Structures are given as C-alpha cells and as structure tokens.
Amino acid sequence: MHQALLAVSVSLAAAYYCTHRADENCACRKPKPALLHQAADDFNIDLSQSIFIGDSETDMQAGLAAGCQPIAFGACLCESRDSLPWRGSLPVARTAKELFDVAVKCLQDRGQDAVGVGAAQDPR
C-alpha cells in the first residue's frame, strides 16, 4: 500500500489496523475507538477537532466514540435503504469532489482552519 501511494506522490505517515476477529472482542476493532486513540496519541491529534471519514456503519460509530466528526463517504453507504440511526444527522459525501468540500465545512464548523490542520489540497 505504501509503495502504491508513493507512486502517485502520496506520503502516508502511518496505517492502523486491527488483526483480530470480530468474536475476539478486542478494544481495537471498530466500532471501538482504540486505534483512533492510539493514532491521536502518536501524532498529538485533538480528536474533538478532527474528522473521521469512513464508508461503513462501524466507521461512523468509531468516529463518534472517539469524539470525532464522522463523514460518511461513498454512494453505497450514503444511499443505503437501511434506516441506520446516524444517517440523518451526519454529513455525507458521495464523491471525492464532494468529500473535500464536506471535510472543509466540518473542520470550519469545529472552529478549525482546514488548511492549518493539514487537509489535503482540493483535488479539483
């Protein structure tokens, strides 16, 4: 993954992932927020001033549990017919183009200058 990202000039500082099965009930498997807390500790991130972009219900739950502002990303999750309780209250972005604008707005709503917190450059 790192090599593929570097090939398109994207640098990744770290990747966090859970290696446990769902039935192991570990603290790091989403929707539990342990890995988000670990990344926050490793990089001195204020989660209350952060966004968490995800494409699943467990991503949204993990972001909320960590104190982030979750953003639902992708057409499948955003257009699901399921009546998920968080759907109406969280910001959504169906495309990468929408994601940039939604992320900037969420960061601004949290009192942050999106450029000042290392947001990616507008891909448009």
Write down the pLDDT at residue 122. 46
Query: Which residue in the block uniquely carries the two structure tokens 């219900």?
Result: 57
Query: Which residue in the block uniquely carries the two structure tokens 């639902």?
Result: 72
Question: How many domains are contained in the chain?
Answer: 1
Write down the pLDDT at residue 89. 79
Could you tell me if 112 and 51 are in contact, meaning their C-beta atoms sit under 8 angstroms apart?
no
Is there a domain that residue 61 lies in? yes
Instruction: Please report, as a single letter, which amino acid is at residue 113.
Output: D
CA pair distance 62, 93, nearest whole angstrom = 18
Is there a domain that residue 106 lies in? yes
Interaxial angle between packed helices 57-66 and 34-43, expressed in degrees from 0 to 180 and rounded to the nearest 10: 50
Is there a domain that residue 48 lies in? yes
Q: What is the mean pLDDT of each run of 10 residues along the chain (124 residues)?
A: 90 93 94 96 95 92 94 73 62 92 91 49 45
Is there a domain that residue 18 lies in? yes
CATH code for position 26: 3.40.50.1000
Residue 52's domain comprises 2-117
Is there a domain that residue 122 lies in? no
Sign of the C-alpha dihedral, residues 73, 78, 83, 86? positive
Is there a domain that residue 26 lies in? yes
Is there a domain that residue 87 lies in? yes
Q: What are phi and psi of 75, to 5 degrees?
A: -65, -40
Is there a domain that residue 70 lies in? yes
Task: Please give the structure tokens belonging to residue 46.
Answer: 């204020």
